[in-house]
């Protein structure tokens, strides 16, 4: 039996009757940039997360950069984050000229250890950037408490956590800004790149809207005034179809980006969003089956915040990872190593001066963790085959 780590074809097949006409509709409508699907999807996503504002962007990495910029983080500032994550988390910090400061993680949740944050705070620290890794929320109560005590901002990297929750609150809704990715393999994935920023703060939403579109137009002007403390009435754009010709587009107030969510992606994501909870429930049920069947042979993910985890990836730990993944591969079962190099030891961050041994838990995990197949459409028969093979 051949079982991939994630099978996007099955989801496509199940949704093809709905997706195909939506995509064609966009093609014939021709409002390809910031069209009605993008605007509606932003509203629907904000309502789903329980945030006041949602600002769509081109991808999660750009989302992180725009979030940092909107919060005024730049050259020389320090941002505390985790080493056990995808590169983009810390890359975005470096992109804005700030310095990522890594705090070790916890063995059970793979998430930032809040007890280790305070010792890393300096007078240059501006923010904490926790990641809800693999779809399990970081310990947000403790992280937000440290942030509040030291007057720091909180950016949640919820790129792997669309629909995850922590004590009843959705991932992305607990910090100053939450950042999501719609990379195709994510629990809510498009047919290409995509991302979203959420916040309860209107002025941050305006800044992010300005930065995603060349710092131009009404949002550019509002953001400029806000940043410079200028009190002035900003005239709304009254042009009827601003996708064809919007004169305000050519007035630029800030140095921004071109980072918009594609209209076709928005149309696709609008079909998928109403199914997200059901898919996440299915992932949780599969994770429970894996846990119950494998806990005596592997270290399985038994998170404290279990109920809210959405198992973007199902990660186990083994002393014999290489042997295990090789044998599983021979049986047709795909596995993946997340993450083989903790970020503080990545070559790209060599000039930060970290050494092996500095963050022992992240390093320990990077030698033992790997993912078993996990996607909502996986059958129990397939899962039983994986379980049998792992046990063998």
The residue ranges that bind ligand PLP (CB under 6 A) are 59-61, 85-86, 88-89, 131, 157, 159-160, 181, 183, 193, 195
- Comparing CB distances to ligand PLP, the nearer of 261 and 387 is 261
Gyration radius of the chain over CA positions: 21
Residue 179 is classified by DSSP as E
Q: Write out the two tokens for 347.
A: 């070559």
140-175 core/surface letters (b: 16 or more CB in 10 A; e: else): beebbebbeeeebbbbbbbbbbbbbbbeebbbbbbb
What three-state secondary structure class fits 286?
helix
Q: How far is the CB of 106 from ligand PLP (least distance, A)?
A: 16
Q: How far is the CB of 30 from ligand PLP (least distance, A)?
A: 26
- Comparing CB distances to ligand PLP, the nearer of 216 and 265 is 265
Which residues, including other chains, have CB under 8 Å from residue 169's CB and lie 6 or more apart? Answer: 50, 140
Q: How far is the CB of 54 from ligand PLP (least distance, A)?
A: 15
Q: How far is the CB of 120 from ligand PLP (least distance, A)?
A: 20
- Comparing CB distances to ligand PLP, the nearer of 345 and 387 is 345
Q: How far is the CB of 109 from ligand PLP (least distance, A)?
A: 14
- Comparing CB distances to ligand PLP, the nearer of 140 and 387 is 140
How large is the greatest C-alpha to C-alpha distance in the chain, in angstroms?
A: 71
Closest CA to 78 of 10, 135, 124, 13: 124
- Comparing CB distances to ligand PLP, the nearer of 98 and 390 is 98
Residue 206 is classified by DSSP as H
Q: How far is the CB of 159 from ligand PLP (least distance, A)?
A: 3
- Comparing CB distances to ligand PLP, the nearer of 30 and 258 is 258
Point out the residue whose Cβ comes nearest to ligand PLP.
60
């Amino acid at each position: 039996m051949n079982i991939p780590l994630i099978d996007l074809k099955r989801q496509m097949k199940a949704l093809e009757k709905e997706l195909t006409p939506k995509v064609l509709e966009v093609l014939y409508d021709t409002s390809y940039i910031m069209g009605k699907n993008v605007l509606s999807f932003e509203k629907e996503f904000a309502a789903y997360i329980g945030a006041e504002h949602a600002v769509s962007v081109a991808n999660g990495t750009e989302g992180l950069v725009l979030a940092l910029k909107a919060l005024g983080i730049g050259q020389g500032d320090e941002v505390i984050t985790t080493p056990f994550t995808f590169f983009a988390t810390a890359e975005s910090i470096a992109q804005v000229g700030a310095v990522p400061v890594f705090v070790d993680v916890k063995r059970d949740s793979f998430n930032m250890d809040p007890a280790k944050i305070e010792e890393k705070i300096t007078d240059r620290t501006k923010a904490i950037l926790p990641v809800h890794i693999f779809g399990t929320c970081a310990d947000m109560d403790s992280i937000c408490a440290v942030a509040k005590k030291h007057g720091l901002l909180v950016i949640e990297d919820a790129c792997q956590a669309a629909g995850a929750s922590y004590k009843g609150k959705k991932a992305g809704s607990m910090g100053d800004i939450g950042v999501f990715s719609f990379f195709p393999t994510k629990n809510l994935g498009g047919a290409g790149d995509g991302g979203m920023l959420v916040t309860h703060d209107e002025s941050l939403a305006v800044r992010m809207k300005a930065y995603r579109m060349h710092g131009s137009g009404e949002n550019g002007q509002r953001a400029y005034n806000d940043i410079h403390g200028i009190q002035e009435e900003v005239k709304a754009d009254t042009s009827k179809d601003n996708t064809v010709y919007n004169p305000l587009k050519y007035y630029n107030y800030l140095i921004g980006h071109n980072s918009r969510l594609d209209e076709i992606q928005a149309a696709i994501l609008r079909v998928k969003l109403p199914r997200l909870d059901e898919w996440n429930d299915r992932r949780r049920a599969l994770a429970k089956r894996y846990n119950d069947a494998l806990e005596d042979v592997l270290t399985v993910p038994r998170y404290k915040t279990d109920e809210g985890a959405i198992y973007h990836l199902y990660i186990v730990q083994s002393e014999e990872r290489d042997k295990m993944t090789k044998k599983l591969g021979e049986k047709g079962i795909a596995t993946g190593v997340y993450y083989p190099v903790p970020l503080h030891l990545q070559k790209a961050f060599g000039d930060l001066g970290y050494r092996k041994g500095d963050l022992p838990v992240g390093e320990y995990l990077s030698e033992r963790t790997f993912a078993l197949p996990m996607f909502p459409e996986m059958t129990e028969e397939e899962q039983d085959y994986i379980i049998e093979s792992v046990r063998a």
